[in-house]
Structure 1
Amino acid sequence: MSNRLPPLRALTCFEAVARLNSFSRAAQSLNITQSAVSHQIRQLEDHLGEALFIRHGRYLSLTEDGRQYYEDIAAALSDIQRATDRMQGREDRKLRLALYSSFAVRWLIPRLHRLQDAHPEIELSLEMTPESPTLSDRIGDCFITLVERQRGYTMERLYAERLFAICSRRLWGRVVVDLCAAGLAGPGATPTALNPDWLQRYTLLSAQSLFGAPNEDWRRWLGAADCALRAETRVQHFSHILLALEAARHHQGFALANDYMYSEPEDPDLVRLPCHTLLTGDCFYFGYKTSRRNEPAIRTLRNWLQQEARNSGLLGVQQPID
């Protein structure tokens, strides 16, 4: 069997090139010359009888065979490295966490200082993606993802997404004045309940990223209150919820937000309207390879994330939707 195995040196060179997408960066990380890396890759391609990379001038990409081979061997190389570290009395505390860019920017990054203060031994790097990250060693060591199940991975729920309406304090003041003029609120009183249909008198800010189609966020939210989105309602469209929230902050209309994008203490310029919430059906999970469940760094990050999710109201306050 050993005669059929490629040299470990060639495998480590391949893993570095595939991960860094560069022969020169791989050479730097391995502390060898670029020509040595190229030689090892050629040897490996000859051994396998398959091309692993496609070279487009200065650009590099994995072939389909190369991508599959990387997925198959990266985990094994990581396991060898971790086993060696344990044998030598070392534990790797470096972790790559792959997650949605919006979740990272609006929820995680403002809290990272607490992780650094409580666990300075953890070296966490963030790999942000515009969509739910692919569960792969090439992408990260652990993930915050919408994927509920994947073979070989453990998934633990952090948040069941729900949507609610928000606007700027200035616009809310105008709404209160309009309600008083219509006899629906007393002078100087702050409404404790608002008919969702009333919002259609103003501009609605729609984020296509929520459900993948224009207006769908407001259709579903209004529909949950037995209201229909009217053809004459003015709707301003945005590709992403971040843009809709910024427009709301600048008094341009009502937006739909979720718990990790909006927090009243952290967004004093915005007001959550006294209306219903809509469960979207999406859940965010912290995921990691089941084979790595006992690694101290992953256990520490898992416990910290769950505690922060509880403290911020993401975990434990919603009705389960499983």
Structure 2
Amino acid sequence: MSAVRAFEAAARHLSFTRAAEELSMTQAAVSYQIRLLEDRIGAPLFVRLPREMRLTGAGRQLAPKVTEAIDLLGAAFSEIADKTEHHLHISVLPTVVSSWLGQRLASFQTAHPNISIRVHMSTELVDFKRDAVDLAVRSGAGDWPGNDVFPLFPLDYVPVCTPSFLEKHQLKEPADVLRVRRFGNASWWRRWMIETGVEPPASNGTELIFDVQAMDVATILADHGIAIAVSTFLMDELKSGRLIRPFEHVVRDGRAYWLVYPQSTRRQKKIQAFRDWVVAEADASNAMLATVMEVSRSLHPGGSASALTKPE
């Protein structure tokens, strides 16, 4: 292909020098590639004169067909590249979609109407070489070699319930959660209990186990128990006062939710556009979270339950 490209450019310009400039090659390299092509077909393609260069009969026969073929290849690749550049396939954890990303995607599409988005909800690991995925949002330590990773928000979690549930069950001390039905990740509950000085029970206290935190939140909004969930995903409910924090302690997990994509695709405009947008959205959420968490506390410094003042 290098020899064919060199011949096409030289035939079009009738100059090795101008062909070399177009292809970012040396004149000697262009001449060498054309000699390889002439050896391959067994006939000269150019008549080399002191002050000019002409195509031979074989060269005149070959040049237009080669140009047509290269144009056809260029059009085919451009068509595929154009389609690829305007389609963005994202693999996202179900909780991130249902509790955070889904309600924000409309603003991205408004800002980038030429990019169509397909969201695939999955908890499985992504193989970018195998799967038809451009970007992924996953939780962890962010140690995925060969990929660009950007932290979105911390994986910090906290127990929440409705004000009426708190009133009914008189949740005043961390150990009081042992008396009620609990929803959410069992290991998160265990760590929260240990950090608050409570002996974890043998079971989580519920027979219903959801893989999506939004389902846990929906369940406790109906006053069926208390749930533990990531703080970022609770902001709307905490801000509105539909949910409150019965206890002060938040588990600082140390991990985070990350935007991940292959380093090889970092220059794609659609990748850059989504990265810049989602990181800005996450920064805004993080800035709001501290205020929401402070307002949502239902404990005064003495440690007993108090009424929650709802935000304006």
Bin the TM-score by the shorter chain. Answer: 0.5 to 0.7
Residue 200 (structure 1) aligns with: 178
How far apart are the structure 2 equivalents of 1:145 and 1:314? 21
Residue 99 (structure 2) aligns with: 106
Unaligned runs of 5+ in 1: 2-79, 180-193, 318-322
How far apart are the structure 2 equivalents of 1:120 and 1:243? 31
Question: Per the alignment, do residues 117 and 266 of structure 1 end up closer, same or farther by CA in structure 2, a change over 3 Å counting?
Answer: farther
How far apart are the structure 2 equivalents of 1:96 and 1:88? 15
What are the superposed Cα offsets for residues 79-116 of structure 1, whole Å, 9 maximum, x if unpaired? x9999439998881211011111211111111111112
Question: Per the alignment, do residues 95 and 266 of structure 1 end up closer, same or farther by CA in structure 2, a change over 3 Å counting?
Answer: farther
How far apart are the structure 2 equivalents of 1:81 and 1:124? 26
Is 1:238 the counterpart of 2:232? The answer is no
TM-score normalised to structure 2 length: 0.59
1:166 aligns with one of 147, 160, 176? 160
Cα deviation, residue 262, structure 1: 1.6
> Could you tell me whether the CA contact under 8 Å between 1:146 and 1:283 is conserved in 2?
yes
How far apart are the structure 1 equivalents of 2:206 and 2:83? 55
Map 1:170-185; keep pairs closer than 5 Å.
Answer: 170-175=164-169, 178=170
Question: Per the alignment, do residues 126 and 267 of structure 1 end up closer, same or farther by CA in structure 2, a change over 3 Å counting?
Answer: farther
Map 1:87-166; keep pairs closer than 5 Å.
Answer: 92-146=85-139, 148-166=142-160
Is 1:287 the counterpart of 2:260? The answer is yes
Overall identity of the aligned pairs, in %: 20
**Counterpart residue identity of residue 205, structure 2:** V
Q: How many residues align?
A: 216
> Could you tell me whether the CA contact under 8 Å between 2:182 and 2:226 is conserved in 1?
yes
Cα deviation, residue 159, structure 1: 1.9
After the TM superposition, which of the residue ranges 131-140 and 287-296 deviates more from structure 2?
Answer: 131-140
Map 1:256-275; keep pairs closer than 5 Å.
Answer: 256-263=228-235, 264=237, 268-275=241-248
TM-score normalised to structure 1 length: 0.57
After the TM superposition, which of the residue ranges 220-229 and 241-250 deviates more from structure 2?
Answer: 241-250
> Could you tell me whether the CA contact under 8 Å between 1:99 and 1:132 is conserved in 2?
no
Residue 225 (structure 1) aligns with: 196
Regions of 4+ moved over 6 Å: 80-83, 86-91, 314-317
Q: How much is the aligned-residue C-alpha RMSD, in angstroms?
A: 3.5
How far apart are the structure 2 equivalents of 1:235 and 1:106? 24
Cα deviation, residue 226, structure 1: 2.0
Unaligned runs of 5+ in 2: 2-72, 291-312
How far apart are the structure 2 equivalents of 1:98 and 1:274? 34
> Could you tell me whether the CA contact under 8 Å between 1:165 and 1:275 is conserved in 2?
no
Tell me the SS of whatever aligns to 1:197: helix
Tell me the SS of whatever aligns to 1:95: strand
Residue 224 (structure 2) aligns with: 252
1:216 aligns with one of 187, 192, 207? 187
> Could you tell me whether the CA contact under 8 Å between 1:238 and 1:244 is conserved in 2?
no
How far apart are the structure 2 equivalents of 1:85 and 1:170? 60
- Asked which structure has the greater CA Rg, the reply is 2
**Counterpart residue identity of residue 148, structure 2:** T
> Could you tell me whether the CA contact under 8 Å between 1:196 and 1:275 is conserved in 2?
no
Cα deviation, residue 123, structure 1: 1.4
